[in-house]
Amino acid sequence: MKRKTILIAVGFAAIFYSCKQKKKNDYFPALSFISSQVKDVDTSLYSIIRADKIDSTWDTTYIKRENFRSLAHDFLETPDLANYSIGKKYKEDKFYDESMNRVILTYTPIKENVEIQKEEIIIIPGTSGDDKMKSIIIEKIKDEKDSTVYQHLLWQVDEKFQVVTIVEKKGKPVSTNTIEVSWNKLNQ
């Protein structure tokens, strides 16, 4: 009788433990990947260049390494689709473009009213499992008190990122802001 009680208790403990485990999906961990890229730049000796688009001209400046992370905040604050509670609101489509030799993973929302409207991961497949990440594209939308903010984020691996922000306010003209931050120019 004791043995049966112990087996039942162990069975319930195993069920309870498995229910407590976080559910996972197999979506590409874009946020973790970008965080590792930011960490690499944080600890590098790369020259970091920021370009701001004003009207139709670009203004370029060198920036301090300490400022890099804050410039990348739009990426780092993006909801992580690899997290099950967020990712379950999205569907994944996989596509291989033979003409470009690229694998494209696309995540789109199942329902409306989510911040990320689209996330695209572009990978160059290798011959023996040595695939290379090429870029991450994220399209976001946020409704704020008096405006709607659209963002188009592009992360070019080991090279640069670009953030295009479009703000629509009622009764005011649409404003567009573009910044591009590049590093590691010697390896291009």
Task: Quickly list DSSP for the chain.
Answer: -HHHHHHHHHHHHHHHHHHHSPPB-----HHHHHHHHHHHHHTS---EEEEEEETTEEEEEEE-GGGHHHHTHHHHTS--TTBHHHHTTEEEEEEEETTTTEEEEEEEESSSS-SEEEEEEEEE--SSS--EEEEEEEEEEEE-SSEEEEEEEEEETTTEEEEEEEEEETTS--EEEEEEEE--GGG-
Condensed to tens digits (0 to 9), the pLDDT of residues 87-108 reads: 999 999 999 999 999 999 999 9
Tokens of 159: 């090279």
Mean pLDDT, the chain, whole residue set: 86
Which of 120, 123, 145, 118 minimizes the C-alpha distance to 134?
Answer: 123
**What's residue 8's pLDDT?**
46
**What's residue 3's pLDDT?**
47
| In the predicted structure, residue 20 carries a pLDDT above the cut 80 | no
Q: What angle do CA 114, 142, 35 make, to 5 degrees?
A: 80
As a whole number, mean pLDDT of residues 132-145 equals 94
**What's residue 9's pLDDT?**
40
**What's residue 145's pLDDT?**
86
**What's residue 129's pLDDT?**
77
- Answer with the residue of higher pLDDT: 96 or 18: 96
Which of 173, 185, 186, 180 minimizes the C-alpha distance to 147?
Answer: 173
As a whole number, mean pLDDT of residues 68-89 equals 95
Report pTM: 0.82
pLDDT band at 24 (very low <50, low <70, confident <90, very high): low
pLDDT band at 12 (very low <50, low <70, confident <90, very high): very low
Which of 121, 133, 37 minimizes the C-alpha distance to 76?
Answer: 37
CA 178 to chain centre: 18
As a whole number, mean pLDDT of residues 54-62 equals 83
